[in-house]
Amino acid sequence: MNRRSKIKSALVIALVLLALSPGALRACSVCYGDPDSGMARGLVSGIGVLLGVVVTVLAGIATFFVYIAKKSPTDKESR
């Protein structure tokens, strides 16, 4: 066996052992456990911040297109 295949088989064995260990099968406090934990509150706050950023960017894009539409010449002005 060459070095690469030894590393691959060691990684596969490590992943199998990690997957079969009971501690690795426990869910985090967000998925299972106390919904009022700090981790769950942080997750909700992070989602809120990301949603705020997305809404702000989309509002900026919409405002830009409204500005462009108002500045563009109409048919009556071009005649």
38 near 28, Cβ under 8 Å? Answer: no
Find the helix or strand (DSSP H, E) in which 66 lies.
helix 38-71
Using one digit for the tens of pLDDT, what is the confidence trace for 23-76? 656 666 566 667 787 877 888 899 999 999 999 999 999 999 999 999 988 766
11 vs 79: which has the higher pLDDT: 11
In this structure, are 16 and 48 located in the same domain? no
In this structure, are 52 and 16 located in the same domain? no
In this structure, are 40 and 11 located in the same domain? no
In this structure, are 46 and 63 located in the same domain? yes
Domain tally, the chain: 2
By residue range, what is the domain housing residue 40? 34-79
In this structure, are 38 and 20 located in the same domain? no
In this structure, are 43 and 79 located in the same domain? yes
Using one digit for the tens of pLDDT, what is the confidence trace for 10-34? 999 988 887 787 765 666 656 666 7
